[in-house]
Amino acid sequence: MEIVLGTVQFGSNYGITNRIGQTTISEVKKILHTAKSAGINILDTAPGYGDSETVLGQNDITNFKVITKTPYIKQETIDGVFLQKVTKSIELSLVKLNLSSIYGVLVHNIEDCYKEGAKSLFKLLHELKVTGKIKKVGVSVYNVADIYEILNSEFQIDLIQLPLNILDQRILESKLLLELKKRNIEVHCRSIFLQGILVSNLEDLPIKFKRILSEYFIDIKKMNLSKIEAALLFCHQIEEIDCVVLGVNNNEQLTEIINAYNKVIKIEDKVDFSKYAINDEKIVDPRKWV
């Protein structure tokens, strides 16, 4: 399992537990230097992440693999106009990032995979792959149903980004991770900290999370695990996971994550996290938080 550096905080004030705001340009430079020194070589960004791509392009990121995404387009049908917008967006991403090619492009809005003409969108992305502008074509999904839709479609993907954490184990329980690996699809997990909920102080959390996490926090403390270490260990134990996408606000947070990661990868004893799983989407899906 490798760490992918998420960069949404580089371009916007993201995260329910974010008290710092958008990361400064000087802090981004420190973060990228620390990441590179620690062997982290994949960056995750998107046109929808504010100025993230521009900020990254102001640094030398030629030694990083960069994953970006398609833009959000409100059209209900994927036609020539839609495809032109996607093409221009990817070309603009290359300019902003100051790169000649991108490691991966994900369909950011899963709803685009359900639209009439979706096949032409994937055809376009694979054409860009043939030209060398992108190396891998993928999708960003939210739930089990989305993965079934992709696997049962004609769409050929190389990479998938999906939510998974100690509370949200829906995809793990579905056994679909095994199917993804059978098809040689690279699996990247995001939201492993659930927007910071799983690594926050209990007293700082909304009431609904206090009730759910109080026992869990006590349990991991007894195991001599920090909150970051427990979240990383949960993913590290899942063999089908290739990478975890982790966003940070500052260099101190990244250093803490790296130290936790270096401890976790040496742990051999398995920890059963299954009892902490919650199937309530109002808890595990940030899109449905009120």
For 91, half-sphere exposure in the C-beta direction (CA atoms, 13 angstrom radius) is 8
The whole-number pLDDT of residue 173 equals 97
Tokens of 222: 């007894």
- pLDDT-derived band at 17 (thresholds 50, 70, 90) equals very low
- pLDDT-derived band at 13 (thresholds 50, 70, 90) equals low
The whole-number pLDDT of residue 288 equals 87
The whole-number pLDDT of residue 170 equals 96
Say yes or no to pLDDT of 257 above 50. yes
Q: Each residue of 195-247: pLDDT tens digit?
A: 999 999 999 998 889 999 999 999 999 999 999 999 999 999 999 999 999 99
Say yes or no to pLDDT of 39 above 90. yes
The whole-number pLDDT of residue 20 equals 54
Give me the residue spans of the domains in the chain.
2-288
Phi, psi of 162 (to 5 degrees): -140, 155
The whole-number pLDDT of residue 289 equals 86
The whole-number pLDDT of residue 11 equals 86
Single pTM value for the model: 0.93
Average pLDDT over all residues of the chain:
94
Say yes or no to pLDDT of 97 above 80. yes
Say yes or no to pLDDT of 125 above 80. yes
CATH number listed for the domain at residues 2-288: 3.20.20.100
